[in-house]
Amino acid sequence: MSKPRVSLVRCSTYDLEAVEAAICQALEPFGGMSAFVQPGQRVLLKPNLLRAVPPEKAATTHPAIVAAVARLVFEAGGQPFVVESSGGPFIARWMSAVYKATGMTWASEVSGVPLNEDFRSANVPHPEGALLHRLDVVHPLTEADVVINLPKFKTHNLVGLTLAVKNLFGLIPGTTKVAYHSKLQDRSLFCEGLLDIYTYVKPALNIMDAIIGMEGEGPSGGDPREMGLLLASPDGLAMDTVCAALVSLEPTAVLTTRRAVARGLTSGRLEDIEIVGEELEAVRIADFRMGIEMPIDPGLAKGPLRAILQRVSSGEALEGHRRPGLGARLSRWLGNQMVAAPHAGPKCIGCGFCARHCPVNAITIVNRKAVMDLSKCIRCYCCHELCPETAVELRKPWLGRLLSRG
Ligand code: SF4
Ligand code: SF4
């Protein structure tokens, strides 16, 4: 069987012409955009539009990537359209502010690609799903012939890095995302759900915006990091494996990849992937800063204790992740002694947005400040991700600090 291929090219600018040339170069080993798009096909472009922030914050896929991909889809005879459901409601007024702030309006003007205006949801069957046999998805997905996934390279405190697999969570409409967090509370279960979404959507092509990524406290409160790279692959899992290696991480430190390996969807091994274009070693970033809440590498522990700590820090129950019971409760308790907890910092203005999006109603507003009930909190970090003031701070308990890498 041939190895999945991931194309890796340098690109250090968001100049539209330069980005388009770099994407063409990245797609050349696969036969160009026409290898993925047939004339007349409706092609859904899925950028990461986390919330209404400008492209300079590096929290969202840059509009030059969206515009360049749209142009190439038009050239191949396809009909591209941009679809995303940001954090917050999936409604016209909300998404129109997101389109404007993130530069999608500009991308639409320069390329002619329409921005989605259909804010309905659809409930679809997914018989091959491991956990989710039906999915609530944005309705436009059901009308697409082809999906092109356009993730942004960012840290993510829940899964490690937000890459190709995690990006597709934005095809779950609006506040339904909160319900998924509520249903899949342990992070390993949540990652299983993300894999079900990935296997349902089956993007034909993934193009990663790693020109300027985000390091530190992503996916919204981190710092822009110049990486100067674009990646392309029809295999999002292989792309995620290469992305982890790019920043010197074990691929399975990204929890979606860890669960995908456990499920047999990928090997998670670099030697099983053909990287075309740049040599990985030539572009590897040794000093990329991860978020505070990386899954723990319990380097101090040995043998079975090490395996146990790795499991609980990844949200896996000790007695098997699908069986609730004593092991699951013990795992949750021990995990909470190791993983970071959210607190509203001094920037909090008491707007209540986090409280409305907390999947377990663990947040109340007291004296115009958010207060998190950590006994209820499932450490989904939605409050940290969505706070418009980036006021939510993550603090790691002593056991987590003791055991965590670095
Ligand atoms: S933490 Fe952020 S979202 Fe929550 S109330 Fe404070 S400012 Fe609003
Ligand atoms: S308090 Fe924050 S991290 Fe905890 S469950 Fe609510 S949204 Fe998630």
Residue 105 belongs to a domain with what CATH number? 3.40.50.11440
Residues 310 and 226 in one domain: no
Residues 160 and 273 in one domain: yes
Cα 43 from Cα 199, distance rounded (Å): 18
CB 358 near ligand 1, within 6 Å: no
Domain for residue 288, yes or no?
no
Q: Which ligand is nearest to the CA of 383?
A: 2
Q: Is 156 helix (H, G, I), strand (E, B) or coil?
A: strand
Residues 238 and 380 in one domain: no
Residues 314 and 227 in one domain: no
Number of domains in the chain: 2
Residues 160 and 22 in one domain: yes
Q: Which ligand is nearest to the CA of 293?
A: 2
CB 349 near ligand 1, within 6 Å: yes
pTM of the complete model: 0.92
Residues 43 and 76 in one domain: yes
Domain for residue 383, yes or no?
yes
Residues 265 and 145 in one domain: yes
Q: What is the CATH number of the domain that holds 361?
A: 3.30.70.20
Per-residue pLDDT tens for 93-149?
Answer: 999 999 999 999 999 999 999 999 999 999 999 999 999 999 999 999 999 999 999
Which range of residues forms the domain containing residue 219?
A: 5-283
Residues 86 and 146 in one domain: yes
CB 386 near ligand 2, within 6 Å: no
Q: Mean pLDDT for each consecutive 10-residue tract of the chain (406 residues)?
A: 95 98 98 98 98 97 98 98 96 98 98 98 97 97 98 94 98 94 89 97 98 95 97 98 96 93 96 98 95 62 68 62 61 79 97 96 97 94 94 88 63
Nearest residue by C-alpha to atom 4 in ligand 1: 354
Residues 202 and 331 in one domain: no
Domain for residue 266, yes or no?
yes
CB 340 near ligand 2, within 6 Å: no
Residues 263 and 318 in one domain: no
- Tell me which of 251, 283, 315 is where a domain ends: 283
Cα 78 from Cα 168, distance rounded (Å): 21
Exposed e or buried b per residue across 294-326, where buried means at least 16 C-beta atoms within 10 angstroms of its C-beta? bbbbbeeeeeeeeebbbbbbbbbbbeebeeeee
CB 229 near ligand 1, within 6 Å: no
Show the CA angle centred on residue 164, arms to residues 205 and 29, nearest 5°: 35
Domain for residue 292, yes or no?
no
Residues 171 and 261 in one domain: yes
Residues 251 and 356 in one domain: no
